[in-house]
Amino acid sequence: MTADDRLRSAVPDRFEALASTVRFGQFVSVGAVGAAFDVTTLVLLTSAFGVPAAYANVASIETAILVMFAVNERWTFAGEGAMDARSLGRRLLRSHVVRAGGSTLQYVLFVAVFYGVSVELAVAGVDLWLVAVKGGAIGVAMFVNYVFESLFTWRVHEDDA
């Protein structure tokens, strides 16, 4: 028995399901799309409409959650779970509950760093400090979201979700 075999036999199905490099790569790709929607919404609301960053951040997070759910449902986790409207609704609800943790983490990090560390970095009227802090907070929250979305929203470790 190789070291890989011993490790695989020792790792529960839940954790083995997380180890899919293809699925993780897809999740990160979808996360990049979500981040683009998130940051664009944040910059648009703060720059064009004058919405305070803390409030605009809530709207931008929700926009990203909905976009990422739709793409993950059709690509990253395609084939995981039943496709009827009720099952889809349950997954969307679970996704929101699960992402509440990652979103809260992202929000707290964003507010703490953006308002706690004052940096002037504007280019062409866009606050790049806002964008940099948002990107860092998204990156940290992405790992939390991957684990919990995989295990609880799409239940990749189960045969029938």
Interatomic CA distance for residues 62 and 46, integer angstroms: 16
- Rounded-to-integer distance, Cα 114 and Cα 119, Å: 8
Tokens of 25: 């790569």
Residues 30-77: pLDDT tens digits?
989 998 999 999 999 999 999 999 999 899 989 998 998 999 888 887
| Per-residue pLDDT tens digits for 116-136 | 998 888 888 878 888 899 889
Using DSSP, state whether 79 is helix, strand or coil: coil
| Single pTM value for the model | 0.69
What is the pLDDT confidence band of residue 161, given thresholds at 50, 70 and 90?
very low
According to DSSP, residue 50 is labeled -
Residue 110 buriedness (CB in 10 A; 0-12 / 13-18 / 19+): buried
pLDDT at 159 over 60: no
**Burial status of residue 145 (CB atoms within 10 A of its CB: 0-12, 13-18, 19 or more):** buried
SS3 122: strand
